[in-house]
Structure 1
């Protein structure tokens, strides 16, 4: 599969792929749905689980625990990115843009915190981001980076869906990826208002009408340059 480089420095895959106040109540709703679906992942046992020693390379794990840690890693990256965007607004950021980007930040923080709470003792450690390739003072750099992160996130969720065994986790992943797709469309509209970019042929297959999908083995090398913490998905399911 061929790859292309965009202005953010992220290598993206061809064919990939509202302001709402959010907070603790929505997080609790997510957590409640998770608990109702089955036993919390905190009760699962992972041979590599060590809450005290943080390895130099973080192993995401295996099975459903591994896939949810994979999602948790990506949500950590996105949350950290938007937290920085709002902390250091780019020049000329309008009030409308700040409102939208703040809402996206809040969504990503909720997603991140949801996975951390749901995984419990099986959660990977906090990751250290590396955004040295992003110029947070420049609108184009920030929005193109946001577009790349959101498109990658949607493709990652789509590609991991069939690797999840527990149907309850799959339902929750589906709800989260739908939000990520809204983010992707909103960011693309900021870059090119009232254009077809929000659902362009580079992310939606014009024949099938479907977003692209990418497996962890493809996604992790693309995301790794933006995370200082080394990650390995060697034990993640592949089918």
Structure 2
């Protein structure tokens, strides 16, 4: 399904919900970021062949998060549009809620960044068999774990404490998603040793360059982070 169609379906399903209802961030935060996004000292590169670069500074990190939220929103929108064989009512409900969260996160960053936002990305889910439960939940686990690790790995790069607070609220929701998906696959595996350091009980963190190298395998529109050591 084309990105435009995914957007249309997702937005229609979200019409009954208030903006940022599940994201854990308030309208004041939207205003804060939208005002900041009007500054002209930020840039990002884009060309049809080179893809898009997130830029630098706090806006660069916000665009980084926006790129990942676009990927997750598109994935869960497709999951609900084409449910896997044997999906239960409870699984459908849970995955629909996650879809709604991810759409709200995506729309939050898009609105907050305004003209400084990177373009809408085109997903490539050809490696995922959406008819098979194991394929869908396996991909969901990979996306959720990667998302949490991405926020944890980039948090220290945010200089504005207000932005950091917002990122903390969103990653808390992403961690709930990750735990839920893991339990759907294997009950009791919500905090596996592959994602939580058993020595100090801290979630693992991943650098921007490593996150984007994985994320780009599911994107036709490649994302670079030249200021953070990664070119797609």
Q: TM-score range by the shorter chain?
A: 0.7 to 0.9
Query: 2:204 maps to what in 1?
Result: 212
SS in 2 for 1:23: coil
Unaligned runs of 5+ in 1: 1-21
TM-score where L is the length of structure 2: 0.85
Q: Are 1:224 and 1:230, in contact at CA under 8 Å, matched by a contact in 2?
A: yes
CA separation in 2, counterparts of 1:137 and 1:118? 35
Kindly tell me the number of residue pairs found equivalent between the two proteins.
Answer: 213
Alignment of 1:1-239 (within 5 A): 23-26=17-20, 30=25, 32-35=27-30, 37=32, 40-46=35-41, 48=43, 55-56=48-49, 57-193=51-187, 195=188, 197-236=189-228
Query: 1:11 maps to what in 2?
Result: none
Task: Identify if the C-alpha distance between structure 1 residues 184 and 178 changes in structure 2 by more than 3 Å, giving closer, same or farther.
Answer: same
SS in 2 for 1:154: helix
CA separation in 1, counterparts of 2:107 and 2:31? 18
Task: Identify if the C-alpha distance between structure 1 residues 70 and 49 changes in structure 2 by more than 3 Å, giving closer, same or farther.
Answer: closer
Task: Identify if the C-alpha distance between structure 1 residues 130 and 43 changes in structure 2 by more than 3 Å, giving closer, same or farther.
Answer: same
CA RMSD of aligned residues (A): 2.2
- The Cα shift of 1:235 comes to 2.1
SS in 1 for 2:124: coil
Unaligned runs of 5+ in 2: 1-15
CA separation in 2, counterparts of 1:45 and 1:215? 27
Instruction: Show CA shifts across 1:23-68 (max 9, x none).
Output: 2243597352314656623212245368xx7553201111001000
Write out the 4+ residue segments of structure 1 that deviate beyond 4 Å after TM superposition.
Answer: 35-39
CA separation in 1, counterparts of 2:193 and 2:104? 30
Instruction: Show CA shifts across 1:47-94 (max 9, x none).
Output: 5368xx755320111100100000000000000000000000000000
Query: 1:3 maps to what in 2?
Result: none
Task: Identify if the C-alpha distance between structure 1 residues 39 and 104 changes in structure 2 by more than 3 Å, giving closer, same or farther.
Answer: closer
Structure with the larger RCO, 1 or 2 (CA within 8 Å, 6+ apart): 1
Instruction: Show CA shifts across 1:189-238 (max 9, x none).
Output: 10012x2x111111111001000001101111011110000211012499
